[in-house]
Amino acid sequence: MQIIDGDYTLLSSDASSYMRQISASANDITVNSYLFSYGIAVTFHQAGAGQITFVEGSGVTINTPPNGSLSTRGQGSTVTLICVAVDEYDLIGDVELSVDYAGYDVAMGVASPAPTASEELLRHLFTRSVVFGVDFAGSLAKADTAATASTVLSVKKNGTEIGTITFAIAGTTGTLESDGVAASFAAGDVMTVVAPATPDATLAKIAATFKGSKV
């Protein structure tokens, strides 16, 4: 076992080692060209608070799991770097997800026959920062029973409207809008969906899923 504390450049003598990173700060592990032979593996454990990020030297390729990054997920994570060809490595284990794929969806389901006046249909408390795309891109809303008249549900952040879900006359698919801007929530913020003051006579059993991303 080898203890490291901070940025480190791998050496050929590190082949088949167990590296325990104790740094409290984010750190880089650089992997240079012509370092290890086929099949050699080095394991890294993030013992400290500092996230480990692997840096590809000139000509080096490090493959990650689907949607994975070149960084450990957090304190306590263990990953293994395996040489699979000349200057090519597989990074496996507890890696952090890439930001683009770090999804965070918020689901709403109303089993009751129809919402009542100004009924709160969803209340979600966020534990992390999340952003929803312009007009809640990728989000969906449906109802089992169509609306008799055009019906608009209000989407709110901490009690202030930031968007809407509109069901057209005789429609069962809702259109989500956010005034043409992305909607961001921080830890501690509350998202609510509220029925109109004058509810539709027939719109019933509404479900919606807001597609977001962790930031």
Which amino acid is located at 116 in the chain? T
Token pair listed for 126: 């966020």
Cα–Cα dist 206/12, whole Å: 60
Confidence (pLDDT) at 155:
98
CA distances (Å), 200 to each of 24, 26, 31, 127, 206, in order? 56, 54, 62, 33, 12
pLDDT of residue 67: 77
C-alpha to C-alpha distances, 6 to 50, 56, 159, nearest whole angstrom: 8, 17, 45
Q: Which CATH architecture has domain 102-214?
A: Sandwich (2.60)
Same fold, 2-100 and 102-214: yes
pLDDT of residue 99: 56
Pair type for strands 61-63 and 88-93: parallel
| Eight-state DSSP code of residue 58 | T
Q: Tell me the pLDDT tens digit for each residue of 64-121.
A: 988 789 999 899 999 999 999 999 999 999 998 775 557 899 999 987 778 999 999 9
111: left (phi over 0), alpha (psi -120 to 50) or beta: alpha
How would you label 88-106 residue by residue, b for 16+ Cβ within 10 Å and e otherwise? ebbbbbebbbeeeebebeb
pLDDT tens for the chain, 215 residues: list them. 999 999 999 999 999 999 999 999 999 999 999 999 999 999 999 999 999 999 999 999 999 988 789 999 899 999 999 999 999 999 999 998 775 557 899 999 987 778 999 999 999 999 989 999 999 999 999 999 999 999 999 999 999 999 999 999 999 999 999 988 889 999 999 999 999 999 998 999 999 999 998 87
- Hey, where are the domains in the chain? 2-100, 102-214
CATH number for the region 2-100 comes to 2.60.120
Report the relative pairing of strands 8-9 and 27-31 from DSSP bridges: parallel
Q: What is the pLDDT of residue 107?
A: 96
pLDDT of residue 77: 95
